[in-house]
Amino acid sequence: MKAAVLHQLGEEPRYEDFPDPVPQEGQLLLRVKAAAVKNLDKARASGKHYASHQQLPTVVGIDGVGLLDDGRRVYATGLSGMLAEKALVSLANLVPIPDTLSDATAAALPNAVMGAALALLHRAQLKAGMVVLINGATGVTGQVAVQLARYYGANRVIVTGRNAESLEKLKTLGADEIISLRQDDESLIHQLKAAHAATPVDVVIDYLWGHPMEMLLKALMSGGINQFTHPVRIVTVGSMAGETIGLSSGSLRSSAIEILGSGLGSLSADAFRQMNTDILPDLFQLATTGGLILDTDVRPLADVATAWNQDIAPGKRLVIQIA
């Protein structure tokens, strides 16, 4: 079969022949049609991730969509690399795809859904009527989070980001207020404080961490020793602006701020089961009606080496079309 094969950590995968995977008991063979290339795929191939590939050469790609032998079209996480004409999947880990949903969208949505829906529902405990601030909302997952915050009942959605064009686009996806991170710290804190004062923020979904989070924390902190503060639950999903922040003990003691993470190690097994049984099927269906939008940049498998390190337009997910 043809596949995207990684020979050395730190290199881009090559388009070449690779042995067909052979199903074992409890496994199915999936004829892959499309697979998204995500930051996690690239991090594992770089050798800098804790889950980097150990045995080389190997086929890259964590998940994708394709056809089973019985004709069912499904999304699945692969037991073998998914950027290939064929891959192994588990019978217990299949999500049906609506006929009217494109392969590219079906392949691109699940990772963004995991970083958005699970953060909103399971870690932030979003309830209808809450005010949500999405920090770093101009990327793929951030754009999905904006739409899902509104879909799950948020009363107001505030977003931050650096790309002016992408921020404006978020207004069409459900954002009520946009705040540019391309301003000096004092101005940024002032605008964040004003937004919080006008409609107190209940939930923050953060994709940046680093300096932007430090500014946000200053804006959300109490103004005095005798003031009661509005409870804010901060859920960090990514660290595009830096892995560490400066955080004083007093900033937490003086404010009703709770900080959580959302990721593979912090989410429960029940959350992942619900994603496959309830959340993904619901959101796949929502996407078929235009209620959930995600832009993709689709390339053929033969071009994987070139596409792997190319800059993709902000807010778009690279998808490799295989069949």
The CATH architecture annotation of domain 2-110+294-321 reads Alpha-Beta Complex (3.90)
- Residue extents of the structural domains in the chain: 2-110+294-321, 125-261
What does the pLDDT look like over 251-280, one tens digit per residue? 888 889 999 999 888 999 999 999 999 999
Instruction: State the residue for tokens 């020793």.
Output: 225
Residue range 125-261 forms a domain whose CATH class is alpha beta
What does the pLDDT look like over 162-201, one tens digit per residue? 999 999 999 999 999 999 999 999 999 999 999 999 999 9
| CA 278/CA 152 separation, integer angstroms | 14
| CA 69/CA 72 separation, integer angstroms | 7
Tokens of 226: 């005798």
161 C-beta neighbours (distance < 10 Å), count: 28
DSSP class of residue 202 equals -
Is the pLDDT assigned to residue 99 strictly greater than 70? yes
Tokens of 11: 């290199």
Domain pair 2-110+294-321 / 125-261, same fold: yes
Q: Where are the alpha helices (DSSP H) in 179-315?
A: 185-198, 210-220, 249-253, 269-274, 280-288, 304-308
Average pLDDT over residues 6-28: 96
Instruction: Give which of 51, 2, 76, 78 is closest to 305, Cα–Cα.
Output: 2
What pairing do the DSSP bridges indicate for beta strands 177-180 and 156-161?
parallel
Q: Identify the weakest region by mean pLDDT among 24-33, 44-53, 60-69, 91-100.
A: 44-53
Is the pLDDT assigned to residue 294 strictly greater than 50? yes
What does the pLDDT look like over 122-164, one tens digit per residue? 999 999 999 999 999 999 999 999 999 999 999 999 999 999 9
| Residue positions counted in the chain | 323
| CA 53/CA 256 separation, integer angstroms | 41
What does the pLDDT look like over 35-73, one tens digit per residue? 999 988 998 999 988 888 999 999 999 999 999 999 999
| pTM for the structure as a whole | 0.93
Instruction: Give which of 138, 182, 174 is closest to 157, Cα–Cα.
Output: 174
Instruction: State the residue for tokens 């049984």.
Output: 277
**At residue 206, what are phi and psi to the nearest 5 degrees?**
-115, 130
Rounded to 5 degrees, what angle do the CA atoms 317, 272, 109 make? Answer: 20
